[in-house]
Amino acid sequence: MDKYLVKRGEELNLDQWNPNDKSLFPISKKDGKTRLKDLNKELDHLQELLYAEGKHKVLIVLQALDTGGKDGTIRHVFEGVNPQGVKVAGFKVPTEKELAHDYLWRVHKHTPGSGEIVIFNRSHYEDVLVVRVHNLVPKEVWSRRYEHIRAFEKLLADEGTTILKFYLNIDQKEQKERLQDRLDEPDKNWKFSRGDLKERALWDQYQLAYQDALMKTSTEYAPWYIIPANRKWYRNLVISTVIIDKLKSLKMAYPTAEEGLSEVVIE
């Protein structure tokens, strides 16, 4: 999956990353969904192993433009996984209390404990994305946050957290179709906001903000992957595979059972 890995220090132009790519899984949508079911079972087993062993912590960060597919990724990639050991944290507009603290304060308390997988649906990166695009703080403030974020993620990694970050890459045409779909289908109207159109008008500014964030914060201990996300089934396959490969690399094992269990008789 290194094809989609953002390498530290390399120049990045999102226009050169094809959101329609499906080269790693050159199969049909139907076959892709079938394969995802097998991956769901494998992920379910690995998550149970992670929870049972209770040694490792896993943080998954999902970032995307509006309609990029964060909710759908969580729903399909983690389908069937025991929710006991998986949590989702969403980060919307900061509350008054949160604004009274440093911008990482509200994030740190949601990071995973031992045996947990935590998924950030948006994250601390909003403070170098939305904040930058909408000029909510001066450049001299948001520009130093890349260093803060690298240090924050290094702290988590040093304390045993495995970090995987995914940018769900869609193009403007796909976003338009997804927004239109929210208007056309009554049961999706609740997802649509006129504010989405204002954000869409800032597409180029967001592209630049994401390029900087991805380049400056992709590290060995907290890598970014740019996931082709126009095809939802392909997006799910790639992300599932990356997560499963990383969990396998942890070489987890179930805790040692008590001695003499074979002699236990339940009456």
Q: What is the pLDDT of residues 69-111, one digit of tens each?
A: 999 999 999 999 988 899 999 998 999 999 999 999 999 999 9
Higher confidence at residue 252 or residue 267? 252
77-90 burial code (b ≥16 CB/10 A, e <16): bbbebeeebbebbe
What pLDDT, in 10s, does the model give residues 26-78?
Answer: 999 999 999 999 999 999 999 999 999 999 999 999 999 999 999 999 999 99
pLDDT at 261 over 90: no
Average pLDDT score over residue span 175-187 = 95
Structure tokens at 199: 């954000």
pLDDT per residue as tens digits for the range 110-158: 999 999 999 999 999 999 999 999 999 999 999 999 999 999 999 999 9
User: Per-domain residue ranges for the chain?
Assistant: 2-250
Contacts of 241 (CB under 8 A, 6+ apart): 1, 39
**pLDDT tops 90 at residue 264:** no
- CATH fold, domain 2-250, is Rossmann fold (3.40.50)
Of 260, 238, 249, nearest to 26 (Cα)? 238
